[in-house]
């Protein structure tokens, strides 16, 4: 909510697709964009209370919003999702590739299936959505990929995840060059450790320990918030970022 208040109505009338938008960072982006005046479509894979509560919040927010069940890593689902964006919004002004999956696993235990699933759920999903969205985008549009700071720091148990997130940055840079002549900007936002509801769902003692430990790694001495990421995404979508493309923006408090 703070992000939307700071943004005012800077996205008035913009049409957005945010993948994986019912929890965590994705949910924060969806709500901030809607409150900033955008019409937002988002998607989810698994029904649950988070889906229902998001639908309720969006119903109370002015604009045309939809929450669609679709897997961003499935080509058929992506086709249906983008067809829905076209039918309901008549096009798109921004795509935020937020959906992703990660299951920590030591490299010695990393089997081919887990590697393939991580590639599909993070990198291929962004590719499928972006390629299918191209006919709906025009000059002034923006594509934002959600990466991670740990792709550049490294992480034990996360070789598969950091590898595909690093590849996402290369994809961003090349897409920015290819789509730039059409007036379409492409950037990556790489969050550091962000306090989401997943942290709140841990036992209180474990959650407090994580907050303390990860806060100590940052120059600012705190965890990031969902609003910290949403603010950056909304800025990149807005006209204020009209000359910013091909960039990987770390939002991590300086780790």
Q: Kind and range of the H or E element at 230?
A: helix 226-237
Which are the contacts of 186, defined by CB distance < 8 A and separation ≥ 6? 142, 143, 144, 145, 172, 175, 176, 179, 245, 246
Residues annotated as part of the active site: 161
How many CA atoms does the CB half-sphere of 229 hold within 13 Å? 31
- Inter-CA distances, 148 with 34, 53, 154, 205, 248, Å: 24, 27, 10, 26, 10
Choose among 151, 131, 158: nearest CA to 143: 131
Ordered strands of the 142-146 beta sheet: 66-69, 39-44, 15-18, 94-97, 142-146, 185-191, 248-251
Q: Phi and psi for 231 in degrees, rounded to 5?
A: -55, -45
Query: Looking at residue 201, what DSSP letter applies?
Result: T
Residue with tokens 């005012």: 8
The alpha-carbon radius of gyration of the chain (Å, integer) is 17
Q: Phi and psi for 18 in degrees, rounded to 5?
A: -120, 115
């Amino acid at each position: 909510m703070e992000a939307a208040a700071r943004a005012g109505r800077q996205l008035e009338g913009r049409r957005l697709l945010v993948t994986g938008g019912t929890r965590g960072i994705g949910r924060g982006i969806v709500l901030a964009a809607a409150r900033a005046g955008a019409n937002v479509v988002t998607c989810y894979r698994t029904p649950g209370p988070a889906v229902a509560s998001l639908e309720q919040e969006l119903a109370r927010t002015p604009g045309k919003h939809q929450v669609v069940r679709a897997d961003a890593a499935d080509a058929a689902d992506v086709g249906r999702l983008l067809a829905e964006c076209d039918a309901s919004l008549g096009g798109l002004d921004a795509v935020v590739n937020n959906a992703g999956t990660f299951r920590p696993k030591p490299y010695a235990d990393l089997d081919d299936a887990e590697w393939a699933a991580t590639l599909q759920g993070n990198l291929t999903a962004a590719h499928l959505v972006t390629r299918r969205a191209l006919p709906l985008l025009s000059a002034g549009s923006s594509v934002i990929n959600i990466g991670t700071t740990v792709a550049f720091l490294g992480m034990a148990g996360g070789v598969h995840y950091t590898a595909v997130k690093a590849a996402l940055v290369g994809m961003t840079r090349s897409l920015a060059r290819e789509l730039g002549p059409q007036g379409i900007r492409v950037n990556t936002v790489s969050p550091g450790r962000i306090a989401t509801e997943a942290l709140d769902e841990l036992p209180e003692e474990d959650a407090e320990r994580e907050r303390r430990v990860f806060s100590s790694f940052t120059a600012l001495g705190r965890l990031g918030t969902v609003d910290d990421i949403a603010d950056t995404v909304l800025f990149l979508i807005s006209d204020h970022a009209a000359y910013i493309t091909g960039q990987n923006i770390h939002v991590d408090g300086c780790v």
